[in-house]
Chain A
Protein backbone atom coordinates (compact mmCIF):
# COMPACT_ATOMS: atom_id res chain seq x y z
CA UNK A 1 0.00 0.00 0.00
CA UNK A 2 1.15 3.53 -0.81
CA UNK A 3 0.11 7.04 0.13
CA UNK A 4 0.47 9.84 -2.40
CA UNK A 5 0.30 13.44 -1.18
CA UNK A 6 0.26 15.96 -4.03
CA UNK A 7 -0.49 19.61 -4.72
CA UNK A 8 -2.14 19.21 -8.12
CA UNK A 9 -5.79 19.92 -8.86
CA UNK A 10 -8.04 16.85 -9.09
CA UNK A 11 -8.31 17.40 -12.86
CA UNK A 12 -4.54 17.58 -13.31
CA UNK A 13 -3.99 14.48 -11.22
CA UNK A 14 -6.66 12.48 -13.05
CA UNK A 15 -5.19 13.43 -16.41
CA UNK A 16 -1.75 12.23 -15.29
CA UNK A 17 -3.04 9.11 -13.52
CA UNK A 18 -6.43 8.10 -15.01
CA UNK A 19 -6.55 4.81 -13.09
CA UNK A 20 -5.45 4.48 -9.50
CA UNK A 21 -4.94 0.99 -8.03
CA UNK A 22 -7.11 0.14 -5.00
CA UNK A 23 -4.13 -0.06 -2.67
CA UNK A 24 -3.00 3.53 -3.27
CA UNK A 25 -4.45 6.27 -1.07
CA UNK A 26 -4.32 9.76 -2.58
CA UNK A 27 -4.53 13.14 -0.84
CA UNK A 28 -4.50 16.18 -3.08
CA UNK A 29 -4.99 19.91 -2.99
CA UNK A 30 -8.33 19.79 -4.78
CA UNK A 31 -10.22 18.67 -1.67
CA UNK A 32 -11.74 20.62 1.23
CA UNK A 33 -9.78 23.52 2.70
CA UNK A 34 -6.97 22.40 4.98
CA UNK A 35 -6.36 24.07 8.34
CA UNK A 36 -2.84 24.90 9.49
CA UNK A 37 -1.07 23.08 12.31
CA UNK A 38 -1.04 25.36 15.36
CA UNK A 39 1.55 23.43 17.34
CA UNK A 40 -0.85 22.36 20.10
CA UNK A 41 0.71 18.85 20.24
CA UNK A 42 -2.67 17.32 21.11
CA UNK A 43 -1.98 14.75 18.36
CA UNK A 44 0.61 13.49 20.84
CA UNK A 45 -1.05 14.13 24.20
CA UNK A 46 -4.86 14.08 23.79
CA UNK A 47 -5.71 11.95 20.73
CA UNK A 48 -2.42 10.04 20.22
CA UNK A 49 -1.58 9.63 16.54
CA UNK A 50 -4.39 11.78 15.19
CA UNK A 51 -4.81 15.57 14.83
CA UNK A 52 -7.69 17.12 16.81
CA UNK A 53 -8.70 19.37 13.88
CA UNK A 54 -11.51 17.55 12.07
CA UNK A 55 -11.02 18.61 8.45
CA UNK A 56 -10.05 15.21 7.06
CA UNK A 57 -6.32 15.89 6.77
CA UNK A 58 -5.13 14.95 10.23
CA UNK A 59 -5.62 11.18 10.20
CA UNK A 60 -2.86 10.28 7.75
CA UNK A 61 -0.42 9.17 10.43
CA UNK A 62 -2.61 6.10 10.88
CA UNK A 63 -2.37 5.45 7.14
CA UNK A 64 1.38 6.01 7.09
CA UNK A 65 1.57 3.27 9.69
CA UNK A 66 0.21 0.81 7.13
CA UNK A 67 1.97 1.80 3.91
CA UNK A 68 5.21 0.65 2.35
CA UNK A 69 5.88 3.92 0.53
CA UNK A 70 5.06 7.59 0.98
CA UNK A 71 5.14 9.52 -2.29
CA UNK A 72 5.20 13.31 -2.24
CA UNK A 73 4.51 15.20 -5.45
CA UNK A 74 5.22 18.85 -4.87
CA UNK A 75 6.10 22.08 -6.55
CA UNK A 76 9.54 23.13 -5.27
CA UNK A 77 9.11 26.38 -3.32
CA UNK A 78 12.45 27.93 -2.27
CA UNK A 79 13.79 24.36 -1.94
CA UNK A 80 10.91 23.38 0.32
CA UNK A 81 7.72 21.46 -0.40
CA UNK A 82 4.78 23.61 -1.53
CA UNK A 83 2.55 25.07 1.20
CA UNK A 84 -0.17 22.41 0.72
CA UNK A 85 2.12 19.37 0.84
CA UNK A 86 3.98 20.87 3.80
CA UNK A 87 0.64 21.60 5.49
CA UNK A 88 -0.35 17.94 5.24
CA UNK A 89 3.01 16.84 6.68
CA UNK A 90 2.77 19.40 9.50
CA UNK A 91 -0.69 18.10 10.42
CA UNK A 92 0.48 14.49 10.68
CA UNK A 93 3.39 14.52 13.08
CA UNK A 94 1.36 12.01 15.09
CA UNK A 95 2.94 9.44 12.78
CA UNK A 96 5.84 9.52 15.25
CA UNK A 97 5.73 9.55 19.04
CA UNK A 98 6.36 12.69 21.10
CA UNK A 99 9.20 10.94 22.94
CA UNK A 100 12.79 11.66 22.02
CA UNK A 101 15.78 9.48 21.25
CA UNK A 102 19.24 10.10 19.84
CA UNK A 103 19.62 8.90 16.25
CA UNK A 104 22.56 9.80 13.99
CA UNK A 105 24.00 11.80 16.90
CA UNK A 106 20.93 14.07 16.94
CA UNK A 107 17.67 14.23 18.83
CA UNK A 108 14.71 12.76 16.96
CA UNK A 109 11.28 11.35 17.72
CA UNK A 110 10.70 7.68 18.48
CA UNK A 111 8.71 5.75 15.84
CA UNK A 112 5.07 4.95 16.65
CA UNK A 113 4.63 2.23 14.02
CA UNK A 114 6.83 -0.85 13.63
CA UNK A 115 7.23 -0.95 9.83
CA UNK A 116 9.66 1.38 8.09
CA UNK A 117 8.49 3.20 4.98
CA UNK A 118 10.22 4.25 1.79
CA UNK A 119 10.04 7.99 1.10
CA UNK A 120 10.03 9.25 -2.48
CA UNK A 121 9.62 12.93 -3.34
CA UNK A 122 9.00 14.29 -6.83
CA UNK A 123 9.84 18.00 -6.91
CA UNK A 124 8.56 19.77 -9.98
CA UNK A 125 8.64 23.21 -11.55
CA UNK A 126 10.26 25.16 -14.36
CA UNK A 127 13.54 26.83 -13.56
CA UNK A 128 14.27 25.26 -10.18
CA UNK A 129 17.67 26.61 -9.15
CA UNK A 130 20.53 24.29 -8.18
CA UNK A 131 20.55 25.76 -4.68
CA UNK A 132 16.84 24.94 -4.36
CA UNK A 133 17.38 21.38 -5.60
CA UNK A 134 20.15 20.90 -3.07
CA UNK A 135 17.98 22.09 -0.18
CA UNK A 136 15.02 19.99 -1.37
CA UNK A 137 17.18 16.87 -1.47
CA UNK A 138 18.52 17.55 2.00
CA UNK A 139 15.01 18.14 3.38
CA UNK A 140 13.85 14.81 1.97
CA UNK A 141 16.84 13.11 3.60
CA UNK A 142 16.09 14.86 6.91
CA UNK A 143 12.41 13.89 6.71
CA UNK A 144 13.43 10.28 6.08
CA UNK A 145 15.59 10.37 9.20
CA UNK A 146 12.77 11.82 11.29
CA UNK A 147 10.26 9.30 9.90
CA UNK A 148 12.87 6.56 10.38
CA UNK A 149 12.31 5.65 6.72
CA UNK A 150 14.35 2.81 5.29
CA UNK A 151 15.30 4.69 2.12
CA UNK A 152 14.55 8.02 0.47
CA UNK A 153 14.95 9.68 -2.89
CA UNK A 154 14.28 13.07 -4.45
CA UNK A 155 13.51 13.27 -8.16
CA UNK A 156 13.17 16.53 -10.10
CA UNK A 157 10.80 17.17 -12.98
CA UNK A 158 10.98 20.31 -15.10
CA UNK A 159 7.39 19.67 -16.20
CA UNK A 160 4.91 17.79 -14.02
CA UNK A 161 3.61 15.94 -17.12
CA UNK A 162 6.86 13.94 -17.07
CA UNK A 163 5.55 12.06 -14.04
CA UNK A 164 3.04 10.18 -16.20
CA UNK A 165 6.03 8.27 -17.65
CA UNK A 166 7.18 7.21 -14.17
CA UNK A 167 5.57 3.79 -13.96
CA UNK A 168 7.03 3.20 -10.51
CA UNK A 169 4.65 5.77 -8.98
CA UNK A 170 1.63 3.47 -9.22
CA UNK A 171 3.40 0.11 -9.37
Chain B
Protein backbone atom coordinates (compact mmCIF):
# COMPACT_ATOMS: atom_id res chain seq x y z
CA UNK B 1 0.00 0.00 0.00
CA UNK B 2 1.24 3.49 -0.90
CA UNK B 3 0.18 6.24 1.50
CA UNK B 4 -0.78 9.49 -0.21
CA UNK B 5 -0.91 12.45 2.15
CA UNK B 6 -3.14 15.22 0.81
CA UNK B 7 -1.49 18.28 2.35
CA UNK B 8 -4.27 20.67 1.41
CA UNK B 9 -6.18 22.47 4.19
CA UNK B 10 -9.34 22.11 2.09
CA UNK B 11 -11.83 19.32 2.72
CA UNK B 12 -12.61 19.01 -1.01
CA UNK B 13 -11.90 20.51 -4.43
CA UNK B 14 -8.17 21.05 -3.86
CA UNK B 15 -5.46 21.11 -6.50
CA UNK B 16 -3.45 18.71 -4.33
CA UNK B 17 -6.45 16.37 -4.51
CA UNK B 18 -6.29 16.55 -8.31
CA UNK B 19 -2.65 15.46 -8.23
CA UNK B 20 -3.63 12.63 -5.84
CA UNK B 21 -6.21 11.56 -8.44
CA UNK B 22 -3.47 11.35 -11.10
CA UNK B 23 -1.39 9.12 -8.81
CA UNK B 24 -4.34 6.92 -7.89
CA UNK B 25 -5.20 6.61 -11.58
CA UNK B 26 -1.68 5.26 -12.18
CA UNK B 27 -1.32 3.02 -9.10
CA UNK B 28 -4.97 2.04 -8.64
CA UNK B 29 -7.34 2.79 -5.77
CA UNK B 30 -6.74 -0.54 -4.04
CA UNK B 31 -2.95 0.00 -3.91
CA UNK B 32 -3.21 3.44 -2.33
CA UNK B 33 -4.72 5.09 0.69
CA UNK B 34 -5.28 8.84 0.82
CA UNK B 35 -4.72 10.56 4.14
CA UNK B 36 -6.25 14.04 4.43
CA UNK B 37 -4.69 16.72 6.62
CA UNK B 38 -7.49 19.30 6.81
CA UNK B 39 -8.23 17.34 10.00
CA UNK B 40 -6.83 14.08 11.31
CA UNK B 41 -7.02 11.53 14.11
CA UNK B 42 -3.88 10.25 15.90
CA UNK B 43 -4.45 6.74 14.44
CA UNK B 44 -3.58 8.09 11.02
CA UNK B 45 0.11 7.88 11.82
CA UNK B 46 -0.13 4.10 12.34
CA UNK B 47 -1.76 3.83 8.92
CA UNK B 48 1.15 5.75 7.36
CA UNK B 49 3.74 3.64 9.16
CA UNK B 50 2.12 0.49 7.77
CA UNK B 51 2.62 1.70 4.17
CA UNK B 52 5.45 0.69 1.82
CA UNK B 53 6.07 4.29 0.82
CA UNK B 54 4.58 7.75 1.35
CA UNK B 55 3.87 10.48 -1.19
CA UNK B 56 3.00 13.91 0.21
CA UNK B 57 1.20 16.35 -2.05
CA UNK B 58 0.98 19.91 -0.80
CA UNK B 59 0.11 23.46 -1.84
CA UNK B 60 2.80 26.12 -1.41
CA UNK B 61 1.87 28.74 1.19
CA UNK B 62 4.11 31.81 1.64
CA UNK B 63 7.21 30.10 0.18
CA UNK B 64 6.89 27.00 2.37
CA UNK B 65 4.49 24.42 3.79
CA UNK B 66 1.05 25.50 5.04
CA UNK B 67 0.93 25.75 8.84
CA UNK B 68 -1.62 22.97 9.39
CA UNK B 69 0.66 20.59 7.46
CA UNK B 70 3.64 21.61 9.60
CA UNK B 71 1.57 20.72 12.68
CA UNK B 72 0.69 17.36 11.10
CA UNK B 73 4.36 16.63 10.39
CA UNK B 74 5.49 17.64 13.89
CA UNK B 75 2.90 15.24 15.38
CA UNK B 76 3.95 12.53 12.95
CA UNK B 77 7.60 12.98 13.91
CA UNK B 78 6.66 12.75 17.60
CA UNK B 79 4.68 9.57 16.94
CA UNK B 80 7.50 7.98 14.95
CA UNK B 81 10.10 8.86 17.58
CA UNK B 82 7.96 7.38 20.37
CA UNK B 83 7.33 4.15 18.45
CA UNK B 84 10.82 3.99 16.93
CA UNK B 85 9.16 3.31 13.59
CA UNK B 86 11.28 1.94 10.76
CA UNK B 87 12.47 3.91 7.73
CA UNK B 88 10.01 4.38 4.89
CA UNK B 89 10.64 5.91 1.46
CA UNK B 90 9.12 9.41 1.38
CA UNK B 91 8.37 11.42 -1.79
CA UNK B 92 6.85 14.88 -2.12
CA UNK B 93 4.98 16.83 -4.78
CA UNK B 94 4.50 20.55 -4.29
CA UNK B 95 2.20 22.69 -6.38
CA UNK B 96 1.91 26.44 -6.35
CA UNK B 97 -0.08 29.26 -7.89
CA UNK B 98 3.06 30.87 -9.26
CA UNK B 99 4.09 29.77 -12.73
CA UNK B 100 7.55 28.52 -11.82
CA UNK B 101 7.61 25.04 -10.33
CA UNK B 102 10.98 25.83 -8.78
CA UNK B 103 9.27 28.12 -6.28
CA UNK B 104 8.33 24.90 -4.43
CA UNK B 105 12.02 24.17 -3.88
CA UNK B 106 12.29 25.55 -0.37
CA UNK B 107 9.24 23.62 0.81
CA UNK B 108 10.81 20.44 -0.60
CA UNK B 109 14.00 21.26 1.32
CA UNK B 110 11.92 21.63 4.50
CA UNK B 111 10.50 18.16 3.86
CA UNK B 112 13.97 16.70 3.37
CA UNK B 113 14.87 18.11 6.80
CA UNK B 114 11.64 16.67 8.23
CA UNK B 115 12.57 13.22 6.93
CA UNK B 116 15.97 13.48 8.62
CA UNK B 117 14.31 14.33 11.97
CA UNK B 118 11.52 11.75 11.63
CA UNK B 119 13.68 8.86 10.49
CA UNK B 120 12.09 8.67 7.04
CA UNK B 121 14.02 8.05 3.84
CA UNK B 122 13.91 11.19 1.68
CA UNK B 123 13.50 9.88 -1.85
CA UNK B 124 13.11 13.17 -3.68
CA UNK B 125 10.30 15.34 -4.93
CA UNK B 126 9.03 17.65 -7.62
CA UNK B 127 7.49 21.11 -7.82
CA UNK B 128 4.60 22.03 -10.11
CA UNK B 129 3.96 25.62 -11.15
CA UNK B 130 0.71 27.06 -12.44
CA UNK B 131 -1.43 25.06 -10.03
CA UNK B 132 -4.20 27.60 -10.50
CA UNK B 133 -4.96 26.02 -13.88
CA UNK B 134 -5.04 22.37 -12.76
CA UNK B 135 -8.78 22.54 -12.09
CA UNK B 136 -9.44 23.65 -15.66
CA UNK B 137 -9.23 19.98 -16.74
CA UNK B 138 -7.51 20.91 -20.01
CA UNK B 139 -5.52 17.88 -21.22
CA UNK B 140 -2.99 19.97 -23.12
CA UNK B 141 -2.32 22.24 -20.12
CA UNK B 142 -2.06 19.24 -17.76
CA UNK B 143 0.27 17.24 -20.02
CA UNK B 144 3.67 18.31 -18.58
CA UNK B 145 2.30 17.95 -15.05
CA UNK B 146 0.86 14.47 -15.62
CA UNK B 147 4.08 13.34 -17.31
CA UNK B 148 6.27 14.48 -14.43
CA UNK B 149 3.94 13.04 -11.77
CA UNK B 150 4.04 9.71 -13.62
CA UNK B 151 7.86 9.80 -13.53
CA UNK B 152 7.67 10.14 -9.75
CA UNK B 153 5.16 7.30 -9.56
CA UNK B 154 7.63 5.07 -11.44
CA UNK B 155 10.28 5.85 -8.84
CA UNK B 156 7.75 5.11 -6.07
CA UNK B 157 6.90 1.74 -7.60
CA UNK B 158 10.59 0.82 -7.65
CA UNK B 159 11.21 2.48 -4.23
CA UNK B 160 14.04 4.36 -5.89
CA UNK B 161 15.28 7.89 -5.34
CA UNK B 162 13.65 10.21 -7.88
CA UNK B 163 16.53 11.63 -9.93
CA UNK B 164 14.64 13.25 -12.78
CA UNK B 165 13.81 16.86 -13.55
CA UNK B 166 12.45 18.31 -10.32
CA UNK B 167 10.26 21.09 -11.69
CA UNK B 168 7.60 21.74 -14.29
CA UNK B 169 4.82 24.20 -15.09
CA UNK B 170 1.37 24.00 -16.57
CA UNK B 171 1.43 23.74 -20.37
CA UNK B 172 0.74 27.35 -21.28
CA UNK B 173 3.16 30.28 -21.71
CA UNK B 174 3.93 32.27 -18.58
CA UNK B 175 2.68 35.54 -20.04
CA UNK B 176 -0.71 33.99 -20.78
CA UNK B 177 -0.88 32.53 -17.28
CA UNK B 178 -0.09 35.91 -15.69
CA UNK B 179 -2.64 37.78 -17.83
CA UNK B 180 -5.30 35.12 -17.27
CA UNK B 181 -4.63 35.06 -13.54
CA UNK B 182 -4.85 38.84 -13.24
CA UNK B 183 -8.16 38.87 -15.14
CA UNK B 184 -9.59 36.06 -13.01
CA UNK B 185 -9.22 38.00 -9.75
CA UNK B 186 -11.43 40.78 -11.07
CA UNK B 187 -14.05 38.27 -12.24
CA UNK B 188 -14.07 36.52 -8.86
CA UNK B 189 -14.53 39.86 -7.10
CA UNK B 190 -17.79 40.37 -9.01
CA UNK B 191 -19.25 37.42 -7.08
CA UNK B 192 -18.90 39.61 -4.00
CA UNK B 193 -20.26 42.73 -5.70
CA UNK B 194 -16.80 44.31 -5.87
CA UNK B 195 -15.10 45.92 -8.83
CA UNK B 196 -11.53 45.19 -9.87
CA UNK B 197 -10.37 48.56 -8.48
CA UNK B 198 -11.87 47.64 -5.06
CA UNK B 199 -9.32 44.84 -4.73
CA UNK B 200 -6.55 47.46 -4.42
CA UNK B 201 -8.04 48.86 -1.19
CA UNK B 202 -5.53 49.66 1.54
CA UNK B 203 -7.24 48.14 4.53
CA UNK B 204 -5.25 49.84 7.29
CA UNK B 205 -5.89 48.29 10.69
CA UNK B 206 -6.48 50.74 13.52
CA UNK B 207 -3.69 50.01 15.99
CA UNK B 208 -5.12 50.80 19.43
CA UNK B 209 -2.82 48.87 21.70
CA UNK B 210 0.60 47.28 21.97
Contact = CB atoms under 8 A, between A and B. Distances in A.
Contact of A83 (B59, B74, B188, B198): B74
A78 B110 contact: yes
Nearest to A112: B202
Given A38-B10, A61-B203, A78 B117 contact: yes
B182 A90 contact: no
Contact of B202 (A38, A49, A86, A90): A49
Interface stretch (A8-16, A94-102, A156-164): A94-102
Given A108-B98, A131-B113, A48 B199 contact: yes
B139 interface: no
A48 B99 contact: no
B116 A45 contact: no
A35 B15 CA distance: 21
Given A39-B8, A39-B59, A139-B106, A90 B181 contact: no
B166 interface: no
Interface of A is mostly: mixed
Interface residues of A, number: 62
Contact of A107 (B99, B114, B191, B207): B99
B194 interface: yes
A70 B71 CA distance: 23
Interface of A: 1, 20-26, 36-39, 41-42, 44-50, 59-63, 65-66, 77-84, 86-87, 89-90, 93-94, 97-102, 106-108, 112-113, 129, 131-132, 135, 138-139, 142-143, 146
Interface of B: 8-10, 14, 38, 59, 61-68, 70-71, 73-74, 98-100, 103, 106, 109-114, 116-117, 174, 177-178, 181-182, 185, 188-189, 191-192, 194, 198-205, 207, 209-210
